[in-house]
A and B are shown apart, each in its own frame.
Chain A
Amino acid sequence: MSDAGPDMNDQAPAVEIRGASKIFNPGRHNEVKALEDIDLHIDQGDFVTLIGPSGCGKSTLLRLIAALVDPSDGTVLVNGKTADAARLDRDYSMVFQRAGLFDWRNVSRNIELPLELMGWKAADRRRRSAEMLELVKLTEFARHHPAELSGGMQQRIAIARAMSFHPQLLLMDEPFGALDEMTREHMQNELLRICSETRITVVFVTHSIGEAVFLSTEVAVMSPRPGRIAAVIDNDLGPRTDATRDDPAFFSNVTAVRDALRGGH
Chain B
Amino acid sequence: MTAARTLLRSWLPPVVAAVVIFGGWEAVLAVLRPDGFVLPPPSEIGSAVAENFDAIITATGVTGFIIVTGLLAGVVVGAALALLVTASRAANETLTPLAVAVNAVPIIALGPIFNAWFGLLSPRSNQAVVVVLVFFPIFINTARGLTQVEPSQIELMESYGAGKWRIMREVRIPNAMPFFFTALKLATSLAVIAAIVAEYFGGRQDALGNLITNSAGLTRYDDAWAAVLAGSLVGIGLYALAVLAERLVMPWHFAARRPA
B is a partner of A: yes
Interface residues on A, range: 20 to 34
The verdict on A94 contacting chain B, using a C-beta distance below 8 Å, is yes
23 inter-chain pairs at a CB distance below 8 angstroms, sorted by A residue, are A68-B158, A87-B161, A88-B161, A90-B160, A92-B159, A94-B159, A96-B155, A96-B156, A100-B152, A102-B174, A103-B174, A103-B252, A104-B174, A104-B177, A104-B250, A117-B157, A117-B166, A117-B170, A147-B252, A148-B255, A149-B260, A150-B259, A171-B159
Residue with the greatest number of chain B CB neighbours at <10 A, chosen from A66, A113, A153: A113
Q: Closest residue of chain B to A95, judged by CB? A: B156
Q: How far is the CB of A109 from chain B (nearest CB, A)?
A: 10
The verdict on B253 contacting chain A, using a C-beta distance below 8 Å, is yes
- Complex Cα spacing A90 to B157, Å: 11
**Chain A residues with Cβ under 8 A from B170's Cβ?**
102, 113, 117
Convert A117-149 into 0s and 1s, putting 1 for each residue whose CB lies closer than 8 angstroms to a CB of B.
110000000000000000000000100110111
Is A100 touching B253 in the complex (CB atoms < 8 A)?
Answer: no
**Chain A residues with Cβ under 8 A from B253's Cβ?**
103
Closest 5 CB pairs of A and B: A96-B152, A104-B174, A145-B255, A94-B159, A100-B152
Known contacts A87-B159, A104-B252, A113-B170; is A153 also within 8 Å of B152 by CB?
no
Q: How far is the CB of A112 from chain B (nearest CB, A)?
A: 12
Q: How far is the CB of A37 from chain B (nearest CB, A)?
A: 25
Is A102 touching B153 in the complex (CB atoms < 8 A)?
Answer: yes
Is B153 touching A94 in the complex (CB atoms < 8 A)?
Answer: no
Is B158 touching A98 in the complex (CB atoms < 8 A)?
Answer: no
Is B159 touching A68 in the complex (CB atoms < 8 A)?
Answer: yes
**Chain B residues with Cβ under 8 A from A92's Cβ?**
159
- Complex Cα spacing A250 to B66, Å: 75
- Complex Cα spacing A3 to B152, Å: 30
Interface residues on B, range: 20 to 34
- Complex Cα spacing A118 to B153, Å: 17
Q: Is the interface of A mostly helix, strand, loop or mixed?
A: loop
Known contacts A103-B253, A144-B260; is A90 also within 8 Å of B161 by CB?
yes
**Chain A residues with Cβ under 8 A from B177's Cβ?**
104
| Chain B residues near A (Cβ < 8 Å) | 150, 152-153, 155-162, 166, 170-171, 174, 177, 250, 252-253, 255-260
The verdict on A264 contacting chain B, using a C-beta distance below 8 Å, is no
- Choose one: A93, A153, A171; the contact of B260 (CB below 8 Å): A153
**Chain B residues with Cβ under 8 A from A93's Cβ?**
159-160
Convert A65-89 into 0s and 1s, putting 1 for each residue whose CB lies closer than 8 angstroms to a CB of B.
0101000000000000000000110
Known contacts A98-B150, A104-B174, A114-B160; is A149 also within 8 Å of B155 by CB?
no
**Chain B residues with Cβ under 8 A from A141's Cβ?**
260
Is A148 touching B257 in the complex (CB atoms < 8 A)?
Answer: yes
The verdict on A2 contacting chain B, using a C-beta distance below 8 Å, is no
- Complex Cα spacing A113 to B174, Å: 14
Q: How far is the CB of B199 from chain A (nearest CB, A)?
A: 40
Residue with the greatest number of chain A CB neighbours at <10 A, chosen from B159, B161, B252, B258: B159
**Chain B residues with Cβ under 8 A from A97's Cβ?**
152
**Chain B residues with Cβ under 8 A from A100's Cβ?**
150, 152-153, 156
**Chain B residues with Cβ under 8 A from A147's Cβ?**
252, 255, 257
Q: How far is the CB of A95 from chain B (nearest CB, A)?
A: 9
Q: Closest residue of chain B to A149, judged by CB? A: B260
Is B174 touching A66 in the complex (CB atoms < 8 A)?
Answer: no
- Complex Cα spacing A244 to B253, Å: 43
Residue with the greatest number of chain B CB neighbours at <10 A, chosen from A90, A102, A171: A102
